Amino acid sequence: MQHGRHGDTPPTLLYVVGRVNQGIRREMRKRLVQWDLSIPEYTALSVLHGRPGLSNAQLARRSMIAPQSMIEVLAGLEDRDLVRRAADPAHARILRAELTDEGHELLEAVQPSVDSIEDQLLAAVPGRQRETTLKVLVRAMDRLASGLDDSASEAE
Amino acid sequence: MQHGRHGDTPPTLLYVVGRVNQGIRREMRKRLVQWDLSIPEYTALSVLHGRPGLSNAQLARRSMIAPQSMIEVLAGLEDRDLVRRAADPAHARILRAELTDEGHELLEAVQPSVDSIEDQLLAAVPGRQRETTLKVLVRAMDRLASGLDDSASEAE
DNA sequence: CCAATTTCAGAGTAACTGATATCG
DNA sequence: CCGATATCAGTTACTCTGAAATTG
């Protein structure tokens, strides 16, 4: 389930984001299964397509998960030859990842099915509102990335 | 991880929602642990506070999860005497849930800490934009609840 | 008989924490 | 030695699918 809030009172952002996310995940899982891709796998492919050369640690930070979680995803993709990793010439400890040709092909094949989810969700939403929504969420994302403090239980 | 998309191209709604959700969950978990509440448990308490009398099946639908998932949450809360369930007088199969006094107390104690997350995320966002964002997300939620079709793989 | 609800049981996904090793 | 990275191992959180019983 997700984080919640009441009924007639307007729903909170926390609540709605949780619900929408849950719905999106269900839909994605359903569509990705035929390509034998999990959601984290698809996401990693998608991010690496746009940002080739990210390390495991960088990917993890972007996704707000622990590097230990991300590494499993990456390892799986590497095993399937969808992703290739090579040491940074300037820093042997860092392994920079990028899609293989096969990875690109798969991503291209899957993309439309996933993109159509977003199209359907936003079908009736004017462009301006889409932009506002995206902007607000990106801001929230940044806040979360830089870390919050618990102002409520601090007071003790 | 979450559903993804590129880098310089604007991020997609799917991607941002996933990331924000992940960040929110981390933050919530951290704050809820001191009350020994999981996210689904907190959410159920919160929803039941606003909508007393919902059945397990109704709660599940609202949360876009299977009733089999929700029942575990509800059972746990019932064991802890935070929630009480009673048969609908008109339909004995349906068990309507509501918070106990203890449930109300706990929720009240936890609430501020969770609410402050949202406050911090939206601190710099003007009210108009908050409303737009919420409206767009609620619309997306409704779409998801009524079921999408995979227009991409349909074409085969 | 059918549809909706509840609920048990088992499986699976995706995240976590802890610990270790390496590199600059 | 410190900080960041990679990565193994074990664990927890949350959701799913399947199946069965009950009720109107």
Nearest to A138 among B16, B26, B139 (CB): B16
Q: Please name the residue that has the structure tokens 């403090």.
A: A149
Helix, strand, coil percent content, chain A, rounded in steps of 5: 65, 10, 25
Nearest CA in chain B to A139: B121
Q: Which of B73, B144, B154 to mutate to test the interface with A (most CBs of A within 10 A)?
A: B144
| Cβ distance of B136 and A144 shorter than 8 Å | no
pLDDT digits (tens, 9 = 90+) for A8-67: 677 899 999 999 999 999 999 999 999 999 999 999 999 999 999 999 999 999 999 999
DSSP H or E segment with residue B46: helix B39-50
A68 sits within 7 Å of strand D by its CB: yes
Inter-residue contact B46 to A5 (CB < 8 Å):
yes
- Please give the backbone phi and psi of residue A97, each rounded to the nearest 5 degrees, phi first: -105, 150
Inter-residue contact B107 to B35 (CB < 8 Å):
no
| pTM of the predicted structure, to 2 decimals | 0.92
Q: With the C-alpha atoms ordered B107, A65, A1, B72, is the resulting torsion angle positive or negative?
A: negative
The residues of B between 107 and 136 with beta carbon within 7 Å of nucleic strand D are none
A87 sits within 7 Å of strand C by its CB: no
Q: How far is B96 from chain A (nearest CA, A)?
A: 16
Contacting residues of B for A115, CB less than 8 Å apart: 12, 152
Q: What's the rounded Cα separation, in Å, for the pair A156 and A154?
A: 6
Q: What's the rounded Cα separation, in Å, for the pair A67 and A51?
A: 17
Q: What's the rounded Cα separation, in Å, for the pair B38 and A13?
A: 19
Nearest to B63 among A22, A46, A125 (CB): A22
* Protein CA A67 to sugar C1' C19 (Å): 14
In the three-class reduction of DSSP (H, G, I as helix; E, B as strand; rest coil), residue B142 is classed as helix
**pLDDT for the residue B149:** 83
pLDDT digits (tens, 9 = 90+) for B10-64: 799 999 999 999 999 999 999 999 999 999 999 999 999 999 999 999 999 999 9
What does the pLDDT average to over A96-104? 98
| First and final C-alpha spacing in chain A | 30
Nearest CA in chain B to A27: B148
For nucleotide C23, the protein residue with its alpha carbon nearest to C1' is A93
Nearest to B139 among A9, A114, A124 (CB): A124
Of the pLDDT bands very low, low, confident and very high (cuts 50, 70, 90), residue A4 is low
Of the pLDDT bands very low, low, confident and very high (cuts 50, 70, 90), residue A7 is very low
Write out the two tokens for A140.
């929230």
